[in-house]
A and B are shown apart, each in its own frame.
Chain A
Amino acid sequence: MSPQPQAAVGAPLSRVDGRLKVTGRATYAADHDIKGAVHAVVVDSTIARGRVTGIDTRAALALPGVLKVISHLNAPRLAYRDDPNLNNPPGRRLRVFQDDKVLFHGQPVAVVVATALETAQHAASLVKIGYDAQSPSTDMSGSDRTNEPATYARGDADGAIGSAAVRLEMAYRTARNHHNAMEPQATVARWDGDRLTLWDKTQWVLGTQNELASVFGLPPESVRVISPFVGGGFGTGVRTWPNVTVAALAAREVGRPVKLVLTRKQLYFAVGYRPVYEYGVRLGSDRRGRLTAMTHDVRAETSTYEDFTEAILVAGRMLYSMPHVSQTYRRVPLDVNTPTWMRGPGYANASFAIESALDELAHEIGVDPIELRRRNEPDDDESSGLPFSTRRLRDCYTTGAREFGWHRRNPKPRSTRDGDWLIGTGMATGVYDVLRSPAQARVRLDADGTALIESGTSDMGPGTYTSMTQVAADALGLTMRNVTFRLGDSRMPPTPPHGGSQTMGTVGSAVQDGCDTVRRQAIRLAVEDRESPLYGVDPDGIVVRAGRLHVKDNPVRGETYQRLLARNERTHLETLGSFQPGESRFSMYAYSATFAEVAVDASLGLVRVRRMLGVCDAGRIISPKLADSQALGGMVGGIGTALLEHTVTDHRDGRIVNANLADYLVPVNADIPDLRAIFIDGEDLEAAPIGVKGLGEVVHIGVAPAIANAVFHATGRRVRELPITAEALL
């Protein structure tokens, strides 16, 4: 930990970019005004499997203002190099306009470029595509094909369940969900000779840079990606989707900058989604609820061309104590586009199955759900044998139960009524991995006493600009207003993707490292400078506050950065801060307990969430005001998953039926009651030098099962499929 006094970190500060966002001056991808840019609109396939037999572009090209229609018939062959640094799943990624094959409904088959948006939109509707269509397979339940399964086992789960006093077997299912960030995927692409500049919506400028370099066969330094603001991500911008290639290709073909903004409809097939899961659970326990064994049989959809996997199995191995575990994870290849990570990837789906199953066991044996979880709390990580770095889950339960008023709960289902409404409460546990990857940040302290920190990370909403400024301000001993943090440019130092709750821990630690180094450079300059009042002082006894270095116990003795640098004729001090995770001997996870109260209309089956409390053990909280917003937002997303969100496919032709925000339901203001979040104090210095474990996922994981468990408590009906609809409760 830094010896510096903590002033900005931990203070409930407002966002440093708040003014830009409330005045409409924050520039998202499509807001960049690039001189001479023309508009591109993608033509999507209307079959899910087969071949394109012909493309009639005559009507489109006849429209004045149409510059070009590009398809596999006239597109140049692209390099599509493999790049091990990319986070694409195993397989062969979709190669746009490279052949006549159609692999899923909505695949880009052509792009129209025109001078005006309206013209491009109209022209795209005039492009006629001929197909040789085959019958697609898009229904996971109806498919026997699977990719090589992932498995895990310890002990003898089948044997232990066979001899257990209490045995349960359940099948859970979760719907396909789409991120539906408010900002659609958007790109402005401009070529200057062989150099490509992209203003893009992405959660990883470095990933987009490398993807486009590999697609076009360019050295990475020839591609620059700029993304200062991201209008929500939730995972959809972690991978680079084909639309970015289409924009760059179109720009090269017409010799002008091209702007390509996907339509809301296209966001249901042109980018990824949270896949459908079928999750079978069998468990065995003793009569007091002590688990002996659990099996997890998981099936998830993927595409025919890539094998998408995510961390669906981890929670089942380590969250609760039991000697016997058996897991199988099968991916079913279908004629669909490739899924991707969505908030709480894998863990959120696993938590619905596991936390529902625990609730079913609690009801079966008549033990309180929180007490059941306490009885199965492990002493260490039984999947790795490693001790937990920190695990304050018991504190989450205790605090949550007290603040939520859990003791007032009548455990009997369907025992509380309020008029026509059946009232129930439920809880669930959340867990999410601490992801750790190398990150860097450039730190520069100028002679005028201000600092500039740059890192190629992103801010899709959690408040990276603000929280990094807080970390830097404290480590340098400057006020917030004298620190500027910049991000979102591939020319800046590299970072991991802005996803998986890892930005604060990794980039934050790099920022702190760089700022600590620069502060120490300044201190050394002072103590070695005969003209400095700090000459000869022990460097460890010096702190910096508000830009002034002084002896810790004698604030009168000191001087400002400005005087020190001016006298030494230094224009600035600079360094590259870094975070380089080492091998760890600890098991590191963030934890949460979520509590929900629901009301279910006894005759209509309508479910309303009445109140919700999330209690999180996410390590140190850097920016409490923004962390609170992120936690409440995670609950809102969970309410959507639990009660509303469901992408529906017409399996006859693979078409998404509800590819719009009127039919794919997400929570609106009237769906959301008062929500509350509590953070359990405490840092985790094993997880990251700045003590944070990560927040964005764990506040979402466990929300849906808490609601499902509350619905059971309200109605006595156990719904094992998400979303929970009125039909399921009638």
Chain B
Amino acid sequence: MSTELTESDVPSPTGPASAPSRRTFIATTTAVGGIAVAGGLVAGPPPLGVEEAAAAEATPSGRVSLTVNGKRHTITVDNRTSLLDLLREHLGLTGSKKGCNAGACGACTVLVDGRRVNSCLTLAVRLEGAEVTTVEGLAPGGEDGELHPLQAAFVEQDAFQCGYCTPGQIMSGVGCIQEGHTGSAEEIREWMSGNICRCGCYVKIVRAVEQTARGK
């Protein structure tokens, strides 16, 4: 089976890329089970163990090129792999959370081509050419730089407790603001209702979205 991995830096829709180097990307990617990586493009030891290679061969897979947080990935992926599992298990981006794996809680919300989607219900293989933004790619300044205004508003308003739903809430809030569904607290509540917060921080989530929408 032909497998390959290529990558090239492309401009991020949300700001300058703070993506890992090619070397670190390969290092994280080769630790996975569901993705096959081409030996021809990768120096060093074979990236897949015997078991992984066998698994990849046995299951229907497809090749897809997509951009995640400004970083281009061309990968062969198990057709069953969701975008969420691609991010978490294969690309090392564990900010997006698995809460229900059935599209009911919103903890996995990311932006695909600027729209908010439940990444657990999105098959990775159908994302040819897509631009994906996760919570890790939201802050333009990288890990210690300036936060996205909505991230800062979440901290300021204390719009979370345990923090597990927070990446999804923030990505959904970014989508909500971009869509213009922020005319009133009632409208925000309605359009943020795809994201469950079991700690019950809704009042403050609405305040954070409201504050950020006003500051736009």
Contact = CB atoms under 8 A, between A and B. Distances in A.
Given A231-B162, A668-B193, A264 B143 contact: no
B206 A231 contact: no
B103 to A, nearest CB: 8
Given A19-B147, A231-B164, A670-B189, A116 B94 contact: no
A14 B95 contact: no
Given A183-B97, A629-B158, A667-B202, A23 B34 contact: no
Interface stretch (B6-14, B39-47, B51-59): B51-59
A272 interface: no
Given A18-B155, A629-B201, A637-B200, A229 B163 contact: yes
A263 B101 contact: yes
Contacts of A28: 97, 164
Interface string A651-681: 0000000001110001111101011000000
Interface stretch (A62-70, A240-248, A686-694, A709-717): A62-70
Interface string A413-446: 0000000000000000000000000000000000
Interface in A228-265: 229-234, 261, 263-264
B200 A26 contact: no
A65 B33 contact: yes
Nearest to A182: B164
B179 interface: no
A672 B136 CA distance: 29
A674 B205 CA distance: 12
A294 to B, nearest CB: 32
Interface in B155-201: 155-156, 158, 160-167, 170, 188-190, 192-201
B158 A628 contact: yes
Contact of A232 (B143, B198, B203): B198
B134 interface: yes
B99 to A, nearest CB: 5
B210 interface: no
A729 interface: no
Contacts, number: 222
B94 A27 contact: yes
A540 to B, nearest CB: 37
A25 B95 contact: yes
Interface string B66-104: 000000000000101100010011001111111111101
Contacts of A65: 33, 51-52, 54-55, 58
Contacts of A725: none
A669 B100 CA distance: 17
B119 interface: no
B161 A461 contact: yes
B78 A234 contact: no
A128 interface: no
B107 interface: yes
B161 to A, nearest CB: 3
B135 interface: yes
B104 A672 contact: no
A515 interface: no
A39 interface: yes
Given A632-B201, A666-B196, A22 B155 contact: yes
B206 A669 contact: yes
B75 to A, nearest CB: 14
B98 A672 contact: no
A96 interface: no
A117 B84 CA distance: 12
Contacts of B32: 116
A544 B104 CA distance: 51
A630 interface: yes
B213 interface: no
B198 A21 contact: no
Chain A interface size range: 35 or more
A351 to B, nearest CB: 18
Contacts of B205: 669
B163 A64 contact: no
B154 A461 contact: no
Contact of A182 (B57, B95, B193, B196): B196
Given A38-B33, A117-B85, A182-B165, A232 B199 contact: yes
A15 B167 CA distance: 16
A645 B198 CA distance: 12
Contact of B161 (A31, A115, A630): A630
Contacts of B164: 28, 181-183, 231-232
B34 A14 contact: no
A632 B134 CA distance: 28
Contact of B200 (A20, A635, A670): A635
Contacts of B194: 668
Contacts of B163: 17, 20-22, 26, 229, 231, 461
Nearest to B154: A22
A266 to B, nearest CB: 11
Contacts of A552: none
A31 B94 contact: yes
A662 B104 contact: yes
A634 B201 CA distance: 10
Contact of A33 (B92, B198, B202, B204): B92
A669 B193 contact: yes
Contact of A39 (B33, B54, B136, B203): B33
Contact of B49 (A31, A115, A666, A669): A115
A25 to B, nearest CB: 7
Contact of A672 (B34, B152, B203): B203
A633 B200 contact: yes
A460 interface: yes
A666 B59 CA distance: 37
Given A14-B156, A18-B155, A64 B161 contact: no
Given A14-B155, A182-B196, A670-B189, 4 more contacts: A24-B95, A67-B51, A232-B161, A463-B161
6 contacts: A14-B155, A31-B94, A114-B33, A182-B107, A232-B199, A462-B161
